Structure 1
Amino acid sequence: MDIKPNNGKSGKPHHAGHRARLRQRYVEKGANSLAEYEMLELLLTFARTQKDVKPEAKRLLRRFGSIQNILDADKETLMEVEGIGLQSATLIKLVKDLGTIYLRQKQIKRKAINSPEDIIDYLRTSIGSNSNEQFLVLYLNTINEIVAEEVMGEGIVNRLTVYPRKIFENALKHKASALILVHNHPAGSTEPSGYDLSLTHSIQETAAGLGIAIHDHLIVTKHSFLSFSDRGLL
């Protein structure tokens, strides 16, 4: 379908000037000058260069309720929204992944980790919002800097298998002196299961024999977390 021009003289689509004004307002005054739907609209203009994308931005917010939920959604779910194709969904996921990298570099790279609060924002972003369960191990050196992170298991919803032998092979490879265990609970509860407790104790026993400390085991969700250390479970 042809797009009607704004007037008979310019031949430009009616939204062209609006895009320019939106971009200029962001450049001059920053994000606080835009509503959330306008931030989304501005983002989508980089994927849909020839179309008014305000309706798509508003549909995304109606469907997911918040910017956080939009960024946490997978590409397939995003593409269920009318007007959101693969290019737009990919751009949204790219923003989320860049944010995760930013938090990783800001919070954990070559920084001494002394409490869960030092890394929890990153962990909530990286695995807390995942729809499937994931088990992550952070490997620390003698001054509690994280030297590596490895995903040691992935499962569907609440079914996850972790092999401690592989955890310690990586610990030796990274010359780690301590570990922080992390996994998410997609259902939202932070209470440890019987499997969580038995797995932690098994890993702790093996670690003690190798002279490796287990500083903590964190259960992370999108909005909260539980520390085994704080709860007295380690």
Structure 2
Amino acid sequence: MAEQDAKAAHDGAGHRARLRQKLADAGGEALLDHELIEYLLALAIPRRDTKPLAKLLLREFGGIGGLMTADWQAIARVPGMGDTSVAAIKIVQATALRMLRNEVAARPVLANWQALLDYLRADMAHLGVERVRVLHLNSRNMLIRDDHMGDGSIDQAAIYTREVIRRAIDLGSAALILVHNHPSGDPSPSRQDIDVTRQIIDAGKRLNISVHDHVIIAGQGHVSLRAKGLL
């Protein structure tokens, strides 16, 4: 048994070395999805074959996007995942989101729309519940606050006009971009999405606060209500 364990440890170390060399020689694109997660987990669980666990996680959460956006408790419930392993996954997500958000903050948002969409998709496209956020912009359309207004159920999260406008007043916002996700995967706006957007637009007009757009993020893509002519 001891000899078998030693052989397994040796084989695992050799496999990880090959993955590391592939990463060094050709970059992350050379690694399959499960190999990326496998190597990440190997850093947290150095004396274990992490390939089966990596494949299990990707199946459980439907791919890398779903895994990275899953909450801590959900990942921790997967057999074999301890706090150190979960932390490894969440720190990668946090780093990626920070990098994407810094891209959004660096330039006027309306002139940097693709960077905004990349950030929002990374954060919200694979969530299992609806999340509402409001992006507050100054008079030069620079991001001054990314407000996470709350999470809801699998198919509903409330956007309250009074709360959005009060927050905009407190921050001195000149304009807003409303954002929420559809866990169903379909970004098509509902009647309620359209109605609440128009309510916020009307309330903002009285205070010279513009609403540039309401963006719905989902696994199948995104919808801009402005681009659809619904504002």
Contact 1:111–1:145 under 8 Å retained in 2: yes
Q: Which whole-Å deviations, capped at 9, do the CAs of 1:35-57 have from their partners, x for residues lacking one?
A: 33322221111110221222222
- Residue 114 of structure 1 is matched in structure 2 by 110
Q: Distance in 2 between matches of 1:224 and 1:84?
A: 31
- Residue 184 of structure 2 is matched in structure 1 by 187
Contact 1:152–1:166 under 8 Å retained in 2: no
Contact 1:138–1:146 under 8 Å retained in 2: yes
- Residue 138 of structure 1 is matched in structure 2 by 135
User: Which segments of 5 or more consecutive residues in structure 2 lack a partner in the other structure?
Assistant: none
The answer on 1:48 being equivalent to 2:54 is no
Q: Distance in 1 between matches of 2:88 and 2:151?
A: 25
Aligned residues: 229
- Residue 155 of structure 2 is matched in structure 1 by 158
Q: Distance in 2 between matches of 1:35 and 1:187?
A: 27
Quote the offset at 1:15 in angstroms.
2.1
Quote the offset at 1:13 in angstroms.
4.1
Change (3 A) 1:133 1:61: closer
TM-score normalised according to structure 1 size: 0.85
User: Which residue type is aligned with residue 51 of structure 2?
Assistant: K
How high is the sequence identity, in percent, across the aligned residues?
Answer: 35
User: Which residue type is aligned with residue 96 of structure 1?
Assistant: Q
Q: Which whole-Å deviations, capped at 9, do the CAs of 1:118-146 have from their partners, x for residues lacking one?
A: 41111111122221112111111111111
Contact 1:134–1:153 under 8 Å retained in 2: yes
Change (3 A) 1:21 1:154: closer
- Residue 32 of structure 1 is matched in structure 2 by 29
Change (3 A) 1:26 1:207: same
RMSD: 2.4
Contact 2:129–2:151 under 8 Å retained in 1: yes
| SS in structure 2 of the partner of residue 144 of structure 1 | coil
- Residue 6 of structure 2 is matched in structure 1 by 5
- Residue 68 of structure 1 is matched in structure 2 by 65
TM-score normalised according to structure 2 size: 0.86
- Residue 208 of structure 2 is matched in structure 1 by 211
Quote the offset at 1:5 in angstroms.
2.0
Quote the offset at 1:68 in angstroms.
2.5
Quote the offset at 1:229 in angstroms.
0.7
User: Which residue type is aligned with residue 225 of structure 2?
Assistant: F
Larger helix percent: 2
The answer on 1:78 being equivalent to 2:75 is yes
User: Which segments of 5 or more consecutive residues in structure 1 lack a partner in the other structure?
Assistant: none
- Residue 165 of structure 2 is matched in structure 1 by 168
Change (3 A) 1:85 1:118: closer
- Greater shift after overlay, 201-210 or 43-52? 43-52
Contact 1:125–1:222 under 8 Å retained in 2: no
Q: Distance in 2 between matches of 1:228 and 1:62?
A: 33
User: Which residue type is aligned with residue 114 of structure 1?
Assistant: L
Q: Distance in 2 between matches of 1:222 and 1:96?
A: 17
| SS in structure 1 of the partner of residue 158 of structure 2 | coil
The answer on 1:98 being equivalent to 2:114 is no
User: Which residue type is aligned with residue 53 of structure 2?
Assistant: E
Quote the offset at 1:19 in angstroms.
2.7
User: Which residue type is aligned with residue 74 of structure 1?
Assistant: D
